[in-house]
A and B are shown apart, each in its own frame.
Chain A
Amino acid sequence: MVNVMMKVCMVCSLVRPEEKLLLEAFAKRNVPVDIVDDRTAVFDLEDLSAWKQYDVVIERCVSQSRAQYVQRMLRLAGVKTVNTYEVIENCGDKFITTQLMLQHGVPTARVMMAFTPESALQAIEKIGYPAVLKPVIGSWGRGVVRVNDRDAAEAVVNLRDELGGYQQHIYYIQELVKKPERDIRSFVIGDECVAAIYRTSAHWITNTHLGGKASNCPVTPELAQISVAAGKAVGGGIVAVDLFEDPERGLIVNEVNHTMEFRNSVPATGVDIPGKMVEWIGELVH
């Protein structure tokens, strides 16, 4: 039940289809939403009183770093946020996500970490070819590379060693899971897995940003259980969980996303994901 009197703010960078769908879901329930553009917002850390008028602030920044800082400042102001900054930090760094999956006993893809080209090569050889290298911070498949052999591995680690940023020197090396030509994205709102899609592509990266096609994936008890467990491990709230179907191990978690995109998933599943998000936020505020 959504209280029409609740004061809601959405911090975003751009109004993408997801933000528009959320605004429409609030409008359907007669709840007005103030929009703050993170590109023009100024935060006075000693006077965050203007933010205290809100019962909840929804973070929809497209930038990971802005999302983290905004939510930390809102914590300072004592304002309730969706998601919390802990969830954003836990999902925004792939190492932390993996660490939390292991810590909470949630099945996840095997990962090795290293910090120099030499140790990275050792780790890649140990995990075996093909291996996948990912930036610990990044999304939409950006910077994700598959190395099929020693030559490719040397090329990638040497290139990353030459690049300036320290992030390039953090080597997050993941096994290439023998999945079918698809992965699963499930949508978790609080304690419930509300929907899921298959993302199908002949390419080994199935991200819909890179052309993966979305279709409905039935939410089985097994999928719901692992998805909710992954959500709880990162701190709860509203998250999208990316999973692989391993032929021997069953479902295993790949990543968890804190500012989930669902534009392709509403028509594919027939589930009113933004409506369910708004209802859950209403309960949270209540």
Chain B
Amino acid sequence: MITAECPECGGTITFKSAPILHELIRCPDCGAELEVTKLEPIELALAPTEEEDWGE
């Protein structure tokens, strides 16, 4: 089982499959949006906040 710690609330995040570098995920405990910043071992950081020109 692949797990990592949420940097916001300290909760444990479980991955169903191996994450991808820079993948965006959401902490199921606190709802924080997180970015996978390192793979081995997995490290998470708060995702960047939305900027003025972000979109589709």
A residues whose Cβ falls under 8 Å from a Cβ of B: 12-17, 20, 23, 35, 37, 62-65, 137-140, 142, 240, 257-261
Contacts and interface: CB of A to CB of B under 8 A. Distances in A.
20 contacts: A13-B22, A15-B20, A15-B22, A15-B24, A20-B20, A20-B23, A62-B54, A63-B51, A64-B53, A65-B53, A137-B53, A138-B53, A138-B55, A139-B54, A139-B55, A140-B50, A140-B54, A142-B50, A240-B56, A258-B56
A137 B52 CA distance: 9
Interface residues of B, number: 16
Contact of A14 (B48, B52, B53, B56): B48
A152 B21 CA distance: 46
Contacts, number: 55
Interface of B: 20-24, 35-36, 47-48, 50-56
Contacts of A16: 24
Tell me which of B20, B36, B47, B53 has the highest count of chain A C-beta atoms within 10 A of its own C-beta: B53
Contacts of A137: 53
Nearest to B51: A63
A240 B55 CA distance: 12
Contacts of B55: 62, 64, 138-140, 142, 257, 259
* CB-CB nearest 6 A-B residue pairs: A139-B55, A257-B56, A15-B23, A64-B53, A15-B22, A14-B24
By CB atoms of chain B within 10 A, which of A23, A62, A137, A139 has the most? A62
A260 B55 CA distance: 9
B56 A140 contact: yes
